[in-house]
Amino acid sequence: MIEPLIDRLNSLNPMSDELTQRVRSVTRVIEYPADSYILEDGQTCSRACMIEKGLARSYYINDGKEITSRFMDEGFIITSWISYYTQKPGNEFIQAVEDCTLLCIEYADIQRIYKEFPEFNIIGRRQTEYAFYQAELRTQMLRKHTAEEKYRFFLDQHPSLLQRISLKHIATYLGMNEETLSRVRSRFHKKHSL
């Protein structure tokens, strides 16, 4: 069951049997039903979890409105990055959009493994680099000027997510309101069906 996580870590840098065993020993499988919270506002993000199955989103509240910061599906590492790295309470919620099965390791365990197995830092570094890379792609979307460009960028990046997420959540992710997204989408699909 926790093989997907082991495979993922191995792909970042091959692990010795000893290290693999150590990682296995601290990994726990946790299930979250749809709509439940994996992390809440004000909590410190004390673990890193890989999504084995399901879909989640992170968001925060600004002026009373939800702003979705990202969507995470199978294979992604769920963490509220700022809170995780600083180990201070964050302002992000992470909510299961569908039923989720997560493979989780506690922050304290990860730190211990960094010390016991210095080469595990290679994996930590590469994972951070990858997460950063993903974040930069999301940021490029936000820098698009028009609502249609943002929508197209999202389509390109996450074609499969469109069916799994409500329009409302996609809209707060793209930085526009629901009505605008609805209009953009209908215009867009008219254009492309001609």
Interacting residues toward DNA by CB under 7 A: 145-148, 166-168, 175-186
Nearer to DNA, 5 or 184 (CB): 184
Give min distance, CB of 76 to DNA, in A. Answer: 22
Give the one entry of its own copies, DNA, none that residue 179 binds, where binding means its C-beta sits below a cut-off of 5 to 8 angstroms depending on kind.
Answer: DNA
Does residue 159 interact with its own copies by CB under 8 A? no
Element (DSSP H or E) covering residue 9: helix 3-12
Q: Is 25 exposed, middle or buried (0-12, 13-18, 19+ CB in 10 A)?
A: exposed
Nearer to DNA, 87 or 146 (CB): 146
Give the one entry of its own copies, DNA, none that residue 162 binds, where binding means its C-beta sits below a cut-off of 5 to 8 angstroms depending on kind.
Answer: none
Nearest-angstrom CA–CA distance, 181 and 47: 34
* Residues in the chain, total: 194
Does residue 145 interact with its own copies by CB under 8 A? yes
Nearer to DNA, 22 or 150 (CB): 150
Other Cβ atoms closer than 10 A to 97: 19
Element (DSSP H or E) covering residue 136: helix 120-142
